[in-house]
Every structure is written in C-alpha cells, then in structure tokens.
Amino acid sequence: MRLILLGAPGAGKGTQAEMLMKYYKIPTISTGNIFREHISNKTDLGKQATKYMDAGQLVPDELVIELVKDRITRDDCKNGMIFDGFPRTIPQAEALDKMLNDLGISIDYVIDVDVPDENIIERMSGRRVCSKCGASYHTKHKKEKLEGNCDECASTLMQRVDDKEETVKNRLQVYHMQTKPLIEYYNKQNKVLYIDGTADVIKVHDSIMKLLGEN
Ligand SMILES: [Zn+2]
C-alpha cells in the first residue's frame, strides 16, 4: 500500500499515519527525518542539502526527490510506505510521480484528512503547557484546577508560539495555498479519499480503513 496523507497542521494526520503504519507494517516517509539522517551520516546527499540549508535556502526539489528515492528503495519499503508532509507542491508531486513511474510503482491513494479551519484554530489555540514539567492542558477540553497553574507541579502554564492563533492562521493559509492544487492534481488521477477529520481518532481511523476496503 502506497499512501500520501494530506491534512492541515493540527488535523491529526500524524496520529493517523502511525495507526496506518502499524496496520500495514510499512514506514512513514517524512522529508524532515530523511534530511536529518543524511546530514548526521554526512552522506553526499546530506552534504549537498546542508549547503542550501546553511545558506538559508530551500533544498531544491531535484535533491529532495533524490533523498526520497534513496529512502523508498530500501527493503522496509517493499510493501509500501506512507508519505507524510510530502509532496507539498505540484512540482514535487509531478517529480514524485515521475520517480515512482521510473521505479515501476505508483501511489495507490491520497488521503485528505479534512478538518475545518475553525476547529483547528480552536484545537490548537486552546493548548497550554506547563513551563516546567511539560504537562499539557486545554482551555476548553482539559482545564487546569487552579487557573494558570499546573495540576502536577503548580508551575505557570504557557502557550507555545506554534499554538498562538496568529501562527495557526498563517500556517493554515500556507497549507490551503499549497495543498488545494495538490488535491486537484491527485483528484484527476482518481486517487483522493476524503475523510472527515472532525470525529475522534478511532472513528477517523475506521473511516479511512473502510475507504481503503479493509473492513
Ligand atoms: Zn507542571
């Protein structure tokens, strides 16, 4: 099974990827992990990528594709893989299709975990974490007993920069700009499965399995 998972930041895509990974016993492919591995092993591809990153530039798509190719041609991918967070743009999707085609394989399904922006903003902007022990809370769904203080260690709760409403809104905007065309691209190949991501984790997983014909 070769899958691509699409979904806005905060849509719960990562959790779904993990559950699919366990079910199919196939790895998740994330470009972040691939970069880190090549950079720490100082491979040729890693050194090339470092050059761009050190200069504050984006790693060019051709190099990203080389890195992805190196990863998916390993043994643990012979039964498939789940792409999480890649491709992000049309040129990357086109390059990925071409590379897979050269390998004689193709993507089976593209899963779009859809959660309305309002829900994501509510989910994320309500998060609070303890500045000392890292325990997590939510202003609506998991309130602390004494306002602003951790139940565990009584330290001050804070909001991560990534969870601030403005940050979340900006990331959603970028996501919509880049991803809508991607969904359209894979829709032309009849590969998109639309999933309502507002339900709880297990229900979302069940509806994915159903659409994949697994139950
Ligand atoms: Zn604490």
pLDDT of residue 121: 96
Catalytic, 2? Answer no
Q: From the candidates 160, 180, 203, 210, which is the catalytic residue?
A: 160
Length of the chain: 215
Tell me the pLDDT band of 25, cut-offs 50, 70 and 90: very high
Domains of the chain, residue spans = 2-26+79-116+166-211
Tens-digit pLDDT profile for residues 61-80: 999 999 999 999 999 999 99
In our burial notation (b when 16+ CB lie closer than 10 A, e otherwise), range 91-101 reads ebbebbbebbe
CATH architecture of 2-26+79-116+166-211: 3-Layer(aba) Sandwich (3.40)
| 127 has a pLDDT exceeding 80 | yes
- Centroid of ligand 1 to alpha carbon of 158 (angstroms): 10
Question: 42 is written with which tokens?
Answer: 């100082």
pLDDT of residue 164: 95
Question: 119 is written with which tokens?
Answer: 């829900």
pLDDT of residue 209: 97
Catalytic, 127? Answer yes
Q: From the candidates 2, 13, 71, 128, which is the catalytic residue?
A: 13
Q: What is the mean pLDDT of the chain?
A: 94
The side-by-side arrangement of strands in the sheet containing 136-138 is: 136-138, 127-130, 157-158
- Centroid of ligand 1 to alpha carbon of 18 (angstroms): 27
DSSP run (H or E) holding 192: strand 192-196
Catalytic, 88? Answer yes
Residues 6+ apart with CB under 8 A from 144: 128, 137, 150, 151, 157
Report, as an integer, the average pLDDT of 176-192.
94
| 179 has a pLDDT exceeding 90 | no
Share of the chain above pLDDT 90, in %: 89
| 180 has a pLDDT exceeding 90 | no
